[in-house]
Structure 1
């Protein structure tokens, strides 16, 4: 049922009840990318996101008794189309889910005018962590700078000393791929390793022979990959072909997709990816999705996809958004919240172990909290490793050393505000991150 049809149905229901006030829906549109060069990774995430809200609608009648409408607007991961989708949907939307660092950066300046929260779970502009500067933006539960720190932290735990080591930074030549550079460069200076950036153009994603020739010449100790979509499959295939040691190849959380590793199977064993989510088919939420959505023929997923990292991450993403809605409903004692009230919900998330269990997300997301000042949560993550058939946890929970780059967050946020002046700060909180 699309957005218009739901509104008509609500109007009919209102007529049938004599015009009494009837809760209509919680409109949380998603700027999806089921087509284009990143579709292979977008589809399982979008399926997980959609299925979670369908489950809530089927099982609980929505959130607080109000159905959730998670209508998708297809962008193909195009920044231009993403901005068009944003403008088309913002009139009634509670939230914007841009699904691209490029789209996020375009929409970010609009937030102070439109007053609609941006929800970029695990992506977007890392200084959005600073809630005093970015009142309407959230990259909960963990940001790219957190990921960079945790990857280096993990390698340091394996090596002991990084002095004199060389890291190749294989990244998409796109705002997303360049996001972690400030922290990686800072860590390289602090810990004495050499960082060699190797960009991959959008037209080179499936043919990276030049990049891997450079990697062979550089002979790095590790390759850190900030890849997405077809780039990941291309890089993993090239790494196997050139016999790069897979145990020294580590990707960001968007480079840990089961389907990419299935292409190389056993030869990919040892490849790793940092992740703030973990698939757990035994979690109660997954059983409820199967019962209320999949078994009822209301899903586009399949059994293999459901067991994968990205589908499970989509479930977690919608669960975080759903919890922000619930928290706001409770605070303001209304089921039909406003975008401004949802903003408060995002700032008051408490994903304790107890709450994670209550939501049925056992083992699927680390604990975290947000606040007025902290819009990321910095949940930490696990290092996942491909064992030849699936991703398994290869570490205990890692926590980012946020204090080591908190000055970078503050200075980058201040620089952004100055270059986009006049930029109003959030007077409701004082900077502490």
Structure 2
């Protein structure tokens, strides 16, 4: 018997039901990381995810009338602990949410035999976009390769030819996550004639990057692109300020756009940017419901409801909830299983109209998934630190699908061959 979280219990109590109802509910565990070197980013993300499901339980009785048991299994962002959590939760779960590219890569082959979908919104292995190859893996609404494409288009001002002769430093965590953009950036460098200089940051160097920033000073790059996470981001931003690197030439991936990291340098961080597939919307109707049903009820651990990462957590749980709803509607029942959720995640239609119904207009760009496209490639916005907070700094940017799609095809085929025999979805056109 699994242990029910306070969130799940609160959902039951709000319905006047006893806790055992969750044996018949929908179990959606989250492989959280509220501890360890990445906790500063993990906590608001996990709070956002938990609060959205708590709101659905309290306001709607769950999804389709079925309560959601949103349990957490703490990994500390450790791949080994993440695999242990996966094994511990998979029997009753309809989904696994790994919360690490390293964990995702470890459980990816297991999902083919366990028949459980991976949901990794905006992270994981970018070729998972190819649903024909990765039947059980989903990384909506945008992949890391989408992020790299959008960042480079922003730097180029829309004219990729203008990148010729430029020098771009990729300051990245020396971890599977940090290495994700390298294949697409190398391909872009070859195509558009810029020099790519990867500079890794080891896990033990995250808070002391003096050697890396000394190299950046020597390289004198036109831009620094940061694939950072947790303590690495704060360390890099602090070093950039200390070495007087132009902050308007410094752009991070969406996990390097955390409010608290920039608050440490305040006005000195003005001009720093981060690509983002989510956008805080303090006045969105869903935020009023979160406050009424979760915060005011004493069920939330979050203080700043308007932070980028907290509201991104809300969007992530919305994506899961919409997958559950799609599966319920298609199969005509509330108690769905993992295979039915796989269908739901493969048929997401997060339209502008649906976002309005959810009270989440502007919090994520509209997107759709299909059996062949498990990402949706939503696009994103550039956020800029104005000295006090992140503000929108661009219109919606879209990744270059014509450039990325062949690379997705190539790398997913390589993965399948290296892990043969690998089951394909031959029915997917």
- What TM-score, normalized by structure 2, do the two folds share? 0.95
Show the counterpart of 1:355.
354
> How big is the shift at 1:190?
1.1
Cα deviation per residue 1:329-377 (whole Å; 9 max; x = unaligned)?
0000000001010000001111111011111111100010100000000
Does the Cα contact within 8 Å between 1:23 and 1:66 map onto a contact in 2? Answer: no
Show the counterpart of 2:166.
165
Distance in 1, Cα, partners of 2:411 & 2:210: 35
> How big is the shift at 1:307?
1.0
Show the counterpart of 1:30.
30
Distance in 2, Cα, partners of 1:388 & 1:153: 24
Distance in 2, Cα, partners of 1:47 & 1:255: 18
Distance in 1, Cα, partners of 2:354 & 2:421: 39
Distance in 2, Cα, partners of 1:186 & 1:296: 51
Q: Taking structure 1 as reference, are residues 242 and 26 closer, same or farther at Cα in structure 2, changes over 3 Å only?
A: same
Please list, as runs of the form range in 1=range in 2, the aligned pairs for 1:84-95 lying within 5 A after superposition. 84-95=84-95
Distance in 2, Cα, partners of 1:294 & 1:34: 19
Cα deviation per residue 1:371-408 (whole Å; 9 max; x = unaligned)?
00000000000000000011011000001111112111
Give 5+ residue unaligned stretches, structure 1: none
Show the counterpart of 1:123.
123
Q: Taking structure 1 as reference, are residues 126 and 78 closer, same or farther at Cα in structure 2, changes over 3 Å only?
A: same
Show the counterpart of 1:147.
147
Show the counterpart of 1:200.
201
Cα deviation per residue 1:210-263 (whole Å; 9 max; x = unaligned)?
000000000000000000000000000000000000000000000000000000
Does the Cα contact within 8 Å between 2:269 and 2:385 map onto a contact in 1? Answer: yes
Distance in 1, Cα, partners of 2:22 & 2:190: 59
Q: Secondary structure of the residue that 1:88 maps to in structure 2?
A: helix
Show the counterpart of 2:108.
108
Please list, as runs of the form range in 1=range in 2, the aligned pairs for 1:323-342 lying within 5 A after superposition. 323-342=322-341
Show the counterpart of 1:53.
53
Show the counterpart of 1:283.
284
Cα deviation per residue 1:295-317 (whole Å; 9 max; x = unaligned)?
01011111xx2111000000000
> How big is the shift at 1:24?
2.2
The alignment status of 1:315 with 2:314, answered yes or no, reads yes
Show the counterpart of 2:222.
221
> How big is the shift at 1:3?
2.9
Distance in 2, Cα, partners of 1:284 & 1:173: 40
Q: Secondary structure of the residue that 1:213 maps to in structure 2?
A: helix
The alignment status of 1:97 with 2:97, answered yes or no, reads yes
Show the counterpart of 1:244.
245
- What TM-score, normalized by structure 1, do the two folds share? 0.94
Distance in 2, Cα, partners of 1:52 & 1:208: 36
Aligned-CA RMSD value: 2.0
Distance in 1, Cα, partners of 2:250 & 2:210: 17
Q: How many residues are treated as equivalent by the alignment?
A: 421
Q: Secondary structure of the residue that 2:24 maps to in structure 1?
A: coil
Cα deviation per residue 1:86-132 (whole Å; 9 max; x = unaligned)?
00000000000000000000000001100000000000000000000
Does the Cα contact within 8 Å between 2:146 and 2:379 map onto a contact in 1? Answer: yes
Q: Secondary structure of the residue that 1:274 maps to in structure 2?
A: strand
